[in-house]
Amino acid sequence: MFLYAYGIGALAFLSVIAIFTKTEKISMAWYLELTEQEKKKFWGVIVTVVIGSVLILLVPVVCHIIFL
């Protein structure tokens, strides 16, 4: 079950990468208009979301290892 969650997460990540690479000129215009401080805050949010997602996906794995 938890491997299924990893698969869905990986597919979602790859889908986002594909969207940004195909429409790079259109979708990145807003990012280029940000100030340096806004870019740092934006990447802080991205890092926080990624770390949170990994931790959420690891909880079932750890529980599975401990309780089985």
Tell me how many domains the chain contains.
1
The one-character DSSP state at 34 is S
What domain range is 29 assigned to? 2-67
Residue that wins the pLDDT comparison between 14 and 43: 43
User: Tens digit of pLDDT for each residue in 1-39?
Assistant: 555 555 666 666 666 666 566 555 556 777 788 899 998
The amino acid present at 32, given as its one-letter code, is L
DSSP string, 44-62: HHHHHHHHHHHHHHHHHHH
Residue that wins the pLDDT comparison between 40 and 20: 40
Query: Using CA atoms, how far apart are residues 10 and 61, in angstroms rounded to an integer?
Result: 16
Angstrom CA distances, 41 to 35, 46, 68, stand at 10, 9, 41
Q: Is the pLDDT of residue 66 over 70?
A: yes
